[in-house]
Structure 1
Amino acid sequence: MTAVVPSPELTEPVEPPPSARKPKRNWTPWVLLAPGLLWLVVFFLVPIFTSVSASVQTGDYDDGFKLTWHWANYSQALTDYGVQYLHSGIYSVLCTVFCLALGYPVAYFIAFKGGKYKSLLMALVIVPSFTSFLIRTIAWKTILADNGPVVQFLNDAHVLKLTSALGWTVGNHVLASPAAVVCGMVYNFLPFTILPLYTSLEKIDPRLHEAGHDLYCSPFTTWRRVTLPLSMPGVIGGTLLTFIPAIGDYINAQLLGNPNTGVVGQKIEDLFLRNTQGYPVGSAISVVMMVGTLVLVMSYIRKAGTEDLI
């Protein structure tokens, strides 16, 4: 009887198809994300957890603070500092509106009319931010001084009579008033509005404007129907980058305002630095401010849409 020799093809193990192979885990993305995640945990999550924990504590600086779940700190934060919350909200909204009204024409001009001077014009927008925020705010004391040209012009134009009647200035003075606070905020946060707007406008093809003209659209109609919808990602991004830091700002109110223009940041500073028992209430104010800002921002994003923000 003849022995049957198995074929080499039958003796070799059959290699599974590529689809059946177990994919190897790629750790490279996690390694690259590790520094950023560690930074967020240490400097974002831990401070938030600390603030939330401190907001329900009792005690003082000398004897220490203990976690007693004292929720009355939140009721005190909401009832005793309602005026400061209102001021912070009004000033930040006005700052955002004025920055958008001033920044959109500037970004539009640089994007479509700047030509070879685009880089220079953008540098002029950014360079003032290289100076200290504090110094730029103090400079507005000179700009808005009573004997300065700005106040003299407003007096000659009888503008201060109207603003004083509305409560935004005090007599013939602009300093130490809500108007001065908003002016300082608009100046300091204007670049945060212009940069996203310019980035969004610069991507728009200028030939779309020519097409609108060929279709007998007026310049305003072309802007309303073409330019504005395409630049909405910049509008949304610019308003968020302006509103979020503006609502927590207190330097402008402290240097350019008066005791009646106090904002939340000033009260938090007072409770943490000048009150030995103010840590829990100051933390509660901070948590309420963070939650309120988050709700407002999320509502705005949901209403405006976020498809093109990234």
Structure 2
Amino acid sequence: MKKDKNKKKNLLSIVTMVGPIGFWMTVFVAIPFLYIFAISFMNRGEYGGIELGFTLSNYANVFDPLYMNVFTGSIWMATKTTVLCILIGYPFAYFIAQKSSGKKTMLLLMVIVPFLTNSLVRTYGWIILIRSEGIINNFLLAIHLIKEPLEILYTNTGVMIGMVYTLVPFMILPLYSCIEKLDKSLLEAASDLGAKPRRAFTKITLPLTMPGIFAGSILVFIPTLGYFFISDLLGGSKVMLIGNLIKNQFLTARNWPFGAALSIILIIMTLVLVGVYKKVGGDLDELGGI
């Protein structure tokens, strides 16, 4: 009897803990994903919508040169954004890790506080800053550093600025976590053995913090492909990323099956990148633990 009661209690505790998240994942993740996956093999209706049937044409259309250019351009934009976030985020994360606990808290709050404001609102703020009559151009003209306003808004540069600004915290936080856990005695040993700071960084600090770089790169690269509102606002109609293409298929062209196919391909790309991270990052974690 006691064993049965214990089993019931254990079952109840498991259901209580796992049930809500299981319900959430099923209703808001699994079912929508299956729905999108199913309609990606269907046909577009004459006036939009979906017609029942089975076709692979939606996936075949992805290889059209027009859409392939969007994919290659998006990947190139995501790569540049990721590299810039590493160049900005790594020194800042390293700087934070060297400070006292009180200063660390304050600096981390500076990184996190922008999340309290909607990213859409912050993106509109960048329009005011970088437009031809904006604050940045007016300042540069006032100090005679430039003779005519810089064309930043509605260009790839403007989109990249918005992407880097929005996503750099996602690079800083995993890097800080990784650098914070770094065994300082290894650097002291390298110094005692005559290694210069640059050599100690390249041989010890950088290899042991590579998991943080990989994690931050995934957190930056993947959202860059899907953040359509930044390229819409800062790029206008001149910059087209995968996220914009998917949004346009659902809302403008009303070609839901093709938009669903594009979404599935983007999900597959995400899973591939996560798989690469788990493979390479896992090996690096093991290396860091030696």
Indicate whether the TM-score tops 0.5: yes
CA RMSD, 1 decimal: 2.8
Report how far residue 254 of structure 1 moved.
0.5
After superposition, give the CA deviation of every residue in 1:78-115 in whole Å (9 maximum; x if it has no partner). Answer: 31422221222111111111111110100100001355
The residue aligned with 1:3 is: none
The residue aligned with 1:132 is: 118
1:98-137 correspondence to structure 2 within 5 Å:
98-114=84-100, 116-137=102-123
In 2, distance between residues paired with 1:147 and 1:59? 44
CA contact (8 A) 2:218 2:274 kept: yes
Q: Secondary structure at the match of 2:55?
A: coil
CA contact (8 A) 1:87 1:261 kept: no
After superposition, give the CA deviation of every residue in 1:89-148 in whole Å (9 maximum; x if it has no partner). Answer: 111111111111110100100001355311001101110111111011111112212244
The residue aligned with 1:58 is: 43
Paired residue type of 2:152: V
In 1, distance between residues paired with 2:207 and 2:246? 40
In 1, distance between residues paired with 2:48 and 2:213? 50
Choose from 56, 63, 67 the match for 2:52: 67
In 2, distance between residues paired with 1:49 and 1:241? 24
Residues 81 and 233 of structure 1, relative CA distance in 2, 3 Å threshold: same
Choose from 250, 254, 257 the match for 2:228: 250
CA contact (8 A) 2:231 2:240 kept: yes
Paired residue type of 2:230: N
Q: How many residue pairs were aligned?
A: 275
Q: Secondary structure at the match of 1:113?
A: coil
CA contact (8 A) 1:88 1:248 kept: no
CA contact (8 A) 1:112 1:206 kept: no
Task: Indicate the structure with greater helix content.
Answer: 2
In 1, distance between residues paired with 2:218 and 2:57? 32
Paired residue type of 1:72: S
Answer yes or no: is 1:176 the counterpart of 2:162. no
Larger Rg: 1
In 2, distance between residues paired with 1:98 and 1:296? 19
Percent of aligned positions with the same letter in both sequences? 34
Answer yes or no: is 1:283 the counterpart of 2:269. no
The residue aligned with 1:10 is: none
Paired residue type of 1:303: V
In 2, distance between residues paired with 1:76 and 1:205? 51
Answer yes or no: is 1:146 the counterpart of 2:132. yes
TM-score, normalised with respect to structure 1: 0.79
Choose from 85, 93, 96 the match for 2:82: 96
Report how far residue 198 of structure 1 moved.
0.8
Report how far residue 230 of structure 1 moved.
2.2
Report how far residue 280 of structure 1 moved.
0.9
Paired residue type of 2:155: S
CA contact (8 A) 2:250 2:256 kept: yes
